[in-house]
Amino acid sequence: MTEEAKKMSCEEFQAQLADLIGSGVDVSNHPHLKSCPTCRALLADLETIAEAARQLLPIEEQPKEDLWDRIESAIREEEEEGPDATK
């Protein structure tokens, strides 16, 4: 990136972020960031959020115990009614 990228305003840089983050492009080397701590902070935060989200496991809560009973009962009902019942 060039002189033009260095001169880029925060507004212009931030408008590109939706495309840049996660695109595989190393945004951290963007010339605008060298002189802009605000956008550096923003980028670091958004990358931290994306990374934290990737690490989230399925929630620990389980569905209620009786959910299987409801499913089983609905399956039986459908089977008794025949294949057309779901159409």
Partner 1 sequence: MPRSSTPKRAEETPISGGAPEVDNGVAIPLATVSFPPTPTQPVEDDVLARAQAGDHQAFAELYARHKRRIYSLCLRMVNNVAEAEDLTQEAFLQLHRKIATFRGDSAFSTWLHRLAVNVVLMHLRKKGLALTSLDEAMEPTHDEGPGRSFGTPDLMLSGSIDRLALERAVADLPAGYRLIFVLHDIEGYEHNEIAAMLDCSIGNSKSQLHKARLKLRDALRTSQRREGQG
Residues contributing to the site for partner 1 (CB under 8 A): 10-12, 14-15, 17-19, 21, 37-42, 44-46, 48-50, 52-59, 61-64, 67-68, 70-72, 74-75, 78, 86
State the minimum distance, in angstroms, from the CB of residue 8 to partner 1.
12
CA distance 12 to 6: 11
Cβ atoms 50, 21 nearer than 8 A: yes
CB of 31 to partner 1, least distance (A): 18
Query: Which residue carries 């495309």 as its tokens?
Result: 19
- Cα 78-65-55 angle, rounded to 5 deg: 105
Least Å distance, CB 13 to partner 1, is: 9
